[in-house]
Each structure stands twice: as structure tokens, then as C-alpha cells.
Amino acid sequence: MRKSIIFLVFYFLIFPCSAQEIALLKYKGGGDWYANPTSLSNLISFCNQNLNTKINPKPQTVDVGSPDIFQFPLLHMTGHGNVFFTDDEAENLRNYLLSGGFLHIDDNYGMEPYLKKELKKVFPNKELVKLPANHAIFNIAYKFPNGLPKIHEHDGKQPQAYGIFNDDRLLLLFTFESDLGDGWEDETVHNDPIEVREKALKMGANIVTYVFEN
């Protein structure tokens, strides 16, 4: 553990975390971590145009076990199926989150049971906590008085947002039964009406704003 802390201090001195960067998280297990290929670039474009952010318009992909994750204040993870973290990957992700990083996981339908099992490797003693509609992440840039918006229907269930906290800091957001990433995709992918895509992009912009301002 002491060696890991020394490495992290050294790494941050040599490779300081970029101020405004988002990366897609690649993971093992067979799940399609690469789903929604146009979503992040569209979200970034929306934020740069509407929130005056200066995020790199071409998001990078980083492996969950790579030290490169420490270069990014915000990681995005998605997919439909299986997720698997090795012990080393879980430790790397835990160190990243406890060091100030943030992970947004958007279930693209089907990932939830696998994800919850793997998050126990990352934080054995922490639980996913349901976020109330008055949490700052739903109100920081755009107002969502009812909390997480519904973008795509699957099982007719209500959209749910869960978080993992360290003390009072939200360090992981899990969005479930919403499919925000589908709403960020190019319009021709799902043929969603403009108001649905705009709702998804505004919620994504709230996540970005929350991470960059906290």
C-alpha cells in the first residue's frame, strides 16, 4: 500500500491531471465498453458550446488498470453486458477515485448485475446510495427537479441514480434505467426527438459541471 501511495504522488508530479479532460474507460469481461461511439464527443461539443468548457473534442480511451487514468478528472464507462476487474485493476481504480478522480457509469442496459459485483472489489465496505432529486448534480447547470431523466425505455422502470461517497465527496455516479449515453449519440443512431436528446445532453452537462467545479 505504501508503495502505491508513493507511486501516485510521483505520478501526479510528473503527469499532472488535465484540467478539463474526459476519457472512456475500457474494461475486461466481454461487455461492450465501446458502445455509443459518438456519445462522448457529442457531449463534449455540447459542453464546449453551452458551458464555455474547453474539453478536448476527441476523448481518449484508457484501460481501467492503466496509470493513465490519473490524467483525467472524469472517466465515463458504459456497456450492455459483463464487467470484470482484476484485483490490480480494482486497486488502480480505487486509488484514482480516492485521489480526486470521478467515474460516471451509464448502464446501457444489462450491465448492472455484473457491475455491482465488481464495484465490491473496488470498495468492499461502501454501498451504492440512491441520490435524491435535490442533489446538486441535478441542479448545478440545468434544473432537473425530478432527478435523473428517462431517455430510453427498457423495462418500464423509473430512472435511478446511485452514488458512492468518500466522506461527503461523491466520487462515482451510476445512472441506471435512463440510457443517457444513447441520448448523446448522433441523432441518426436512435432517431430520438430533439427534446429527448437535449434532455440527455443537459444532464450530461450537469455531470461534467459537477466534476469540474468540485
CATH for 148:
3.40.50.12140
Percent of the chain residues topping a pLDDT of 70: 91
| β strands within the chain, DSSP E | 22-26, 60-63, 74-79, 102-107, 129-130, 160-166, 169-176
- Looking at the domain assignment, is residue 21 inside a domain? yes
Q: Does residue 96 carry a pLDDT above 90?
A: yes
Q: Model's pTM, two decimal places?
A: 0.90
- Looking at the domain assignment, is residue 23 inside a domain? yes
- Looking at the domain assignment, is residue 8 inside a domain? no
- Looking at the domain assignment, is residue 105 inside a domain? yes
- Looking at the domain assignment, is residue 146 inside a domain? yes
136 and 200 Cβ atoms separated by less than 8 Å: no
30 contact partners, CB below 8 Å, separation of at least 6: 81, 82, 84
100-143 pLDDT, tens digit per residue, is 999 999 999 889 999 999 999 999 999 999 999 999 999 999 99
Please give the residue range of the domain that contains residue 181: 17-213
